[in-house]
Amino acid sequence: MLLRWVIGQCLRRARRDQGKTLREVAEAAGVSVGHLSEVERGRKEPSSEVLAAVCQALGLDLVDLLRAAQWELTNWRLPHLSLPGSAFALAA
Amino acid sequence: MLLRWVIGQCLRRARRDQGKTLREVAEAAGVSVGHLSEVERGRKEPSSEVLAAVCQALGLDLVDLLRAAQWELTNWRLPHLSLPGSAFALAA
């Protein structure tokens, strides 16, 4: 499990929980929609500065993000590793 | 506070707690000593792959790292933000 996957999942979950679009968060954070989308999917490594801007756009601080990442990792670990297809389908 | 600063501090603390040198951990992780040193000082952004390799070299998993990062951040926050010079001097 790579950190950018976990962080991407946290950011996507936080954005969806707030009912925000990729565009809204990307604009508030000053990044492109494409870049944010790649970050959320764990495909691009966000710089710490981009991460801070996205967190700010979501009203999260770094402790919130780390706590969410621990949660994602703990709750993901077994289903993700053993049944990746169904785990992602359930999470989508 | 940027994530790479917090992660760098965690990695340095873990390495020192284990009595390991930069060279030992860098060699075990397959990265250069210079790069690891920059990562530990929060000056370079480690890729998630490098981070995973360094964690493995230190016997940490990602949950350990996130937990340590939360600890660093919680215990750093006030002194770091109000008195950065002395906080770093004390931590050094």
Predicted local distance difference test score (pLDDT) of residue A77: 53
DSSP sequence for A11-47: HHHHHHHTT--HHHHHHHHTS-HHHHHHHHTT-S---
ipTM of the complex: 0.81
Asked if A63's CB is within 8 angstroms of B70's CB, the reply is yes
Nearest CB neighbour to A51, from listed B3, B67, B73: B3
Distances (CA, A) of A21 to A12, A14, A16, A30, A37: 10, 11, 8, 14, 10
Separation between Cα atoms, residue A52 and residue A49, nearest integer Å = 5
**Are the C-beta atoms of residues A87 and A15 closer than 8 Å to each other?**
no
pLDDT greater than 60 at residue A8: yes
pTM equals 0.82
Please tell me the distance in Å from B90's CA to the nearest CA on chain A.
22
Residue B67 one-letter amino acid: R
